[in-house]
Structure 1
Amino acid sequence: MNPKISDFGLGRCVAGNEMEVNASRVVGTHGYMSPEYAVNGIFSVKSDVFSFGVLLLEIVSCKRNRGFVHQDHNLNLLGHAWKLYKEDKSLELIDHELQLAD
């Protein structure tokens, strides 16, 4: 797992009091880009928060977002995490090697 830390910081491109910017060219690693940036080229400081959240999910699950495959559905890691959250099963996302022993 090699996080692309250089992808973080796009939000710093937002100048002054602007809350978001529409980029003419989308750059970054697809697995870490916020949907509004990847689809519409709109990024803000929230884009960095999204990227950091993906990285945290990868760390606690010991799985990569890109290339994640689950036997029961076709969701990526983010979709899988959201599905578990809605089912009140978020703790199932944590890799068993990281869970504390009882």
Structure 2
Amino acid sequence: MTDVEKKKLIKIITSRIEEVKEEIQELKELVKPIPLDASIGRVSRMDAINNKTINESSLREKTQQLKKLERALENSESGNFGICTKCASEIPFGRLEYMPHTTRCVNCVG
């Protein structure tokens, strides 16, 4: 990986970290408890509970994604950044550009 590619990836990772943090904040607002005294109908309350459950799942997923991106940013300074952890070959730049948190090449994912 060239220095230009590495700088581009670091910029992508930093940008995605900020995006994910914003999404996490929005999801935290959506998963707040539904007050019992809220004047909504029974069906609407069931919909609200269902939506809350879906948003909680999304929040967990985004939190994991943030951890992976932060780990990738930390690893960007190491000499093995962009190297597959399984076969030790270089991960193609296009894959890292799309999934900067990945630690394996396409052949080793499966």
Q: Going by fraction, where is strand more abundant, 1 or 2?
A: 1
TM over 0.5: no
- Higher RCO (CA 8 Å, separation ≥ 6 residues): 2
Interval containing the TM-score (normalised by the shorter chain): 0.3 to 0.5
Computing the radius of gyration from Cα coordinates, the structure with the larger value is 2
Q: TM-score, normalised by structure 1?
A: 0.36
Q: Going by fraction, where is helix more abundant, 1 or 2?
A: 2
